[in-house]
Amino acid sequence: MPKIRFLPQYIVGQMMAVLGISFVLLLGTMAAFEFLEYDDVIDTAAGEFTGRRLKRIQTIIQSIPIKQVPSYLERVSHCHDGYALSDKPYGSSKPAREISAVARTLAERLVVESADLRVSNATLHANSFAYEKCAPQEMTFPITAIVVSLRLAPDTWLLAEVHEHEWHLTPNMTDWLLRSLTAFLVIGGIALIFVQRIIQPFKRLASAASTFASELEFTELQETGPLDVRQAIQSFNQMQRYVVDEMKRRSSTLAAISHDIRTPLTALRVKSELIEDEQLREDHIASIDKLEKITTSALDYLRGESRNEPMRQTDLGELVDSVCADFQEQGAAIEFDCPQGIYFRCRPHALVRALTNLLENALKYAGGAKVAIVTKHSLITIVVIDSGPGIPSDKISAALQPFERLSNVRDSGEGGFGLGLAIVKAVVEGHDGRLILLQNVPTGLVARMELPKVSEHCLIKRPLEATS
């Protein structure tokens, strides 16, 4: 089951996700505070906003003729601020204790006598005050409200309704949201620019590490970016120098070993040829041959792990075709289906050595082999199939280890030294690929050298059924 990711994979995406989540959390926190601070109808009536609202209306009404007051109240009344004129105060003259406290508070704010201001509870309907100006579904009637009665003149009272407002976006809140969103976009854009500048050295480091892993060629990376990034790049450059120096020393050691061992072996062979006793001479020469094979196999294994051979764009079909044709010329039973035009950036001599080892194993233990190149998805796979005794599934891992011989499984009079498959594995892994060994049906071994695809100009048209 694929792993579910809740955050983007890259730093830029994660940074923007963090900023977005922070913005959402900020909105949620502000909404929670708004809800917790929400006033009921008593607190709303006694609040400063209601006092300022009534004071403003009172001042304007006192400055205009009494005949113009009704039309003025009609203009300023709306769904949530309704006004009316009456010849008497609204409701009971004996309000409850909480209502009396509201009346005293409003009287102080409006600077009027307590007898000139009355506050009463009320149950209001859709035809009360200016509720007909409400949008459909904006309010649910009847509603519990408070009506404030303010004496303007003898037998003239201003009635103002105060109701508990349902929570909704006000113009101030909408303006705040737009300002916050704008600030978020500006800050996010600036953060994105700085994050891009910070991660550029990381991208160069990742690219250089990938190139170095596949080619083992030293390329000094420029030390730029923040201090910790520069330190990481500096350590990477030091590592490159150390690894390249070690590879050069190993190459020099291999060359010295090859020369220093083969020279005395050649001398021993010459001396062995002078032995008169035929049986003794053959035994000496066979021992020298075996020692040469051990030396050659060990050196090939070490070269297979190294990556000194330069990478070249190679027609893989032509390369495999050439190796198989050489075996056929020697009378080997090799069948191959290798189309031309499959280009791959590789170390061709190393791949020839790996394929040769697989074919030699197939010929040694099965007497023949089938070879094909299969291109599928992002892989180019070289497949070698034989019908020999094969390798049990529980022994495959051991068979890939150097100097590991499975004599009880693939025994013959021409047994090797346990380095053939290890060399193949080292070569394939040196191309960032993998070697897979499978049991063939009904018997035998399927060896798959899976290589990551670089470029492809044609597809194989007739892949072997056993390799699909």
pLDDT at 372: 92
Confidence (pLDDT) at 298: 67
Residue with tokens 């103002």: 160
Give the pLDDT of residue 4. Answer: 56
Percent helix / strand / coil, the chain, rounded to 5: 55, 15, 30
19-23, 155-159, 274-278, 411-415: least confident range: 411-415
CA–CA distance, 429 with 311 (Å, rounded to integer): 14
Query: What tokens does 461 get?
Result: 């048209």
Q: What angle do CA 465, 466, 467 make, to 5 degrees?
A: 90
The runs of H, that is alpha helices, within 137-226 are 171-215
Rounded Cα–Cα distance for residues 8 and 14 (Å): 5
Inform me whether the pLDDT recorded for 341 exceeds 90.
Answer: no
The pLDDT of residue 383 is above 90? yes
Q: Give the residue with greater pLDDT, 462 vs 159.
A: 159
pLDDT of residue 212: 80
Category of 262 on φ-ψ map: left (φ > 0), alpha (ψ -120 to 50) or beta: alpha
What pLDDT is recorded for position 461?
Answer: 37
Which range (223-237, 246-260, 326-340) has the least confidence?
246-260
Tell me the mean pLDDT in the region 347-361: 90
**Amino acid identity, residue 332?**
A
Strand partners, 118: 149
- Per-range mean pLDDT, top range of 135-139, 156-160, 185-189, 252-256: 156-160
Q: How many CB atoms lie within 10 A of CB 411?
A: 12
Confirm if 380 and 345 have CB atoms less than 8 A apart: no
Higher-confidence position of 51 and 256: 51
Asked if residues 319 and 356 have their Cβ atoms less than 8 Å apart, the reply is no
Q: Judge whether 204 and 83 are in contact, CB under 8 Å.
A: no
Nearest-angstrom CA–CA distance, 148 and 155: 16
Q: How far apart are CA 144 and CA 128, in angstroms?
A: 12
Question: Cis link prior to 65 (omega < 30° from 0)?
Answer: no
The answer on pLDDT for 314 being more than 50 is: yes
For residue 447, pLDDT over 60 is answered with yes
Task: State pLDDT tens for residues 40-82.
Answer: 788 888 878 888 888 899 889 888 888 898 899 999 998 888 9
β-pair type (379-386, 156-163): unpaired
Q: Does the reported pTM lie above 0.75?
A: no
Nearest partner of 378 among 319, 445, 320, 434, judged by Cα: 434
The tokens describing 435, both together, are 């070697």
Whether 51 contacts 109, CB under 8 Å = yes
Is 119:161 a contact under the CB 8 Å cutoff? Answer: no
Model confidence at 304, in pLDDT bands (50, 70, 90)?
Answer: low
Mean pLDDT, all residues of the chain:
80
Q: How far apart are CA 298 and CA 295, in angstroms?
A: 5
User: Which one-letter DSSP state was computed for residue 81?
Assistant: B
What DSSP line would sit under 315-368, residue for residue? EHHHHHHHHHHHHHHTT-EEEEE--S--EEEE-HHHHHHHHHHHHHHHHHHHSE
Instruction: Please check the confidence at residue 86 and state whether its pLDDT lies above 60.
Output: yes
User: Between these two residues, 405 and 60, which has the higher pLDDT value?
Assistant: 60
Percent of the chain with pLDDT over 90: 15
Note the residue count of the chain.
Answer: 468
Query: What's the rounded mean pLDDT across residues 350-362?
Result: 90
Run of H or E residues at 84: strand 83-86
Interacting residues of 162 by C-beta distance below 8 A, sequence separation 6+: 41, 44, 45, 50, 145, 146, 147, 148
Select the more confidently predicted residue: 303 or 152. Answer: 152
Contact indicator for 339, 373 with CB cutoff of 8 Å = yes
Highest mean pLDDT among 8-12, 210-214, 320-324: 320-324
Residue in the block written with tokens 């579910």: 4
Q: What is the pLDDT of residue 463?
A: 37
Lowest mean pLDDT among 152-166, 237-251, 388-402, 446-460: 446-460
- In the predicted structure, residue 453 carries a pLDDT above the cut 80: no
Residue 22 has pLDDT above 50, yes or no: yes
Determine the 3-state secondary structure of 161 from DSSP. Answer: strand
Structure tokens at 244: 């390249």
SS3 (DSSP) at 325: helix
pLDDT tens digit sequence for 99-130? 888 888 888 888 888 888 999 988 899 889 98
